Amino acid sequence: MGHLSGEHLYEIFARQKREDRLEHVGTVSAPNAALARAYAWQTYDEQKWFEMVVAPREAFEPVNRDEDPFTLNPAEAR
Amino acid sequence: MSTTDPGGFRTAGDVPMELRADLAALLLSLADNKRLLGMRYAEWLLGAPTLEAGIACSAMAQDEWGHSRILYAMLKDFGEDPGRLEHEREATEYLNSELLDDPPAEWAGLVALNFLLDAALSVQIEALKDSRFEPLHYKVRKVLEEERFHFEHGRGWVARMAQTRAGGEALKAALTPAWESCLRWFGAPGGELVGRLAGAGICDAGSDELRSRWLGRVGPFVEEAGLGLARRAGDGQWQSVTDPDWSGWDGSRRRSGDGALNAETLAGVRGDKNRAMLMD
């Protein structure tokens, strides 16, 4: 997934109820955390979320694979 | 069974007569500014610099129109006809900030409205959270929940644009005039409508305190962006580097200058085209 220079991918996790576990709901591209929060909340508004959090994709450490985390297409895997 | 505060006002009729017009004017001013701000957000749906920003503009436009509908509807209790307020007024009857008279020509102009003016409206609305005028309580909370993300969007764009020289210059050109205008928007020092409402417990602070709350909210981010508009004083309070010019201030219209909405904006905000189609 390409993105503009100066932009980072942020992964979004959310849950509808306190007793739920956070689930990965999507990704946004943003230049900073403030915009990532605004974009995440305004874009993924299909539910009335109890909690939503975002984290930059770079913060995730791959555990069992050498490729970048969150890669969907095998062709993009490095 | 009622949880109503014995000193609270449950309807407009409970509000002392001498304050009723002040409260109605404040609600109308908030409604008009929000309706027009929503229109300005909507104008950038397709022209925003990124897809995400366009979606955010769409969400913020919907929020602002929702907030303005709530506020116009509240004015019914004050003897106003919300339908007339929304669709039948002339440009000079709108109590909008002069910043909304014309659409911003550039994205930086929209960022100025988003970061400075939207935040000013929120500071004023937050001061009504525990108002003696009780119909405001629940509605204000809902508005503020949504506004939290408008502020994140505004400050995120200020930080983003300040990273490049060209972005910083565009930001400064757009924020500097909006800055003075927002400082004035809370009302002239020491008085006016907001002061009278604060005296009666309808608003929790007067103009000067609201201005200082707004400076505390936006000041750190304009300083971080190197815009030279605000500084932190020795006592930790945020101050404006310049004092606004009050010479053109009209307290009754809550704006500076004798201008008004341009014709296109007026037709859009009233929904003239929609009504023309209904008449066919």
Rounded to whole angstroms, how far apart are CA atoms B74 and B201? Answer: 19
Q: Are B171 and B159 in contact (CB under 8 A)?
A: no
Residue of A nearest to B52 (CA): A39
**Alpha carbon A48 to its chain's center:** 18
Rounded to whole angstroms, how far apart are CA atoms B158 and B167? Answer: 9
Within a domain: B9: no
Strands, DSSP E only, in chain B? Answer: 230-232, 238-240, 249-250, 255-256
- How much of chain B is helix, strand and coil, in % rounded to 5? 65, 5, 30
Rounded to whole angstroms, how far apart are CA atoms B116 and B211? Answer: 12
Number of domains in chain B: 1
pLDDT given at position B2: 43
Rounded to whole angstroms, how far apart are CA atoms B183 and B258? Answer: 18
pLDDT given at position A2: 40
Residues in a beta bridge with A27: A11
pLDDT given at position A68: 85
Instruction: Report helix angle B136-161 to B118-126, nearest 10.
Output: 150
Rounded to whole angstroms, how far apart are CA atoms B104 and B262? Answer: 12
**Cβ–Cβ contact B153 with A under 8 A:** yes
* A7, A39, A45, A46: best to mutate for the B interface, most B CBs within 10 A: A39
pLDDT given at position B4: 52
**Domain boundaries defined on chain A:** 25-62
**Residue (of A33, A1, A53, A37) closest to B59 by Cα position:** A37
* B52, B55, B57: best to mutate for the A interface, most A CBs within 10 A: B52
Weakly modelled stretches of chain B, pLDDT under 50 = 1-2
Residues 6 or more apart whose CB falls under 8 angstroms from that of B103 comprise B40, B43, B265
CB contact under 8 A, A42 and B56: yes
The parent domain of residue B179 ranges over 17-243+254-279
Within a domain: B223: yes
Assigned token pair, B33: 């500014």
ipTM of predicted assembly, 2 dp = 0.83
pLDDT given at position B232: 95
pLDDT given at position B190: 75
Burial (0-12, 13-18, 19+ Cβ within 10 Å), B189: middle
**Cβ–Cβ contact A14 with B under 8 A:** no
Within a domain: B249: no
What are the chain B neighbours of A28 within 8 Å (beta carbons)? 52
CB contact under 8 A, B149 and A32: no
**Cβ–Cβ contact A51 with B under 8 A:** no
Burial (0-12, 13-18, 19+ Cβ within 10 Å), A4: exposed
What are the chain B neighbours of A32 within 8 Å (beta carbons)? 156, 159-160
Element spanning B169, H or E: helix B165-185
Within a domain: B43: yes
pLDDT given at position B101: 97
CB contact under 8 A, A43 and B50: no
Within a domain: B198: yes
Helix (H, G, I), strand (E, B) or coil at B94: coil
Within a domain: B189: yes
- pLDDT tens digits, residue range B211-252? 999 999 999 999 999 999 999 999 999 999 999 999 999 999
Strands A51-56 vs A8-15: parallel, antiparallel or unpaired: antiparallel
Q: How many CA within 13 A on the CB side of residue B177? A: 12
pLDDT given at position B206: 94
A9, B125, B156 from B129: Cα distances, Å: 36, 7, 26
How many pairs of residues across A and B have Cβ atoms under 8 Å apart?
56
- One pLDDT digit (tens) per residue for chain A, 78 residues: 344 568 899 999 999 999 999 999 999 999 999 999 999 999 998 899 999 999 999 999 999 998 888 888 888 765
Rounded to whole angstroms, how far apart are CA atoms B239 and B232? Answer: 6
**Residue (of A43, A31, A40) closest to A13 by Cα position:** A40
**Residue (of B185, B201, B194, B199) closest to B244 by Cα position:** B185
Residue B181: which CATH number? 1.20.1260.10
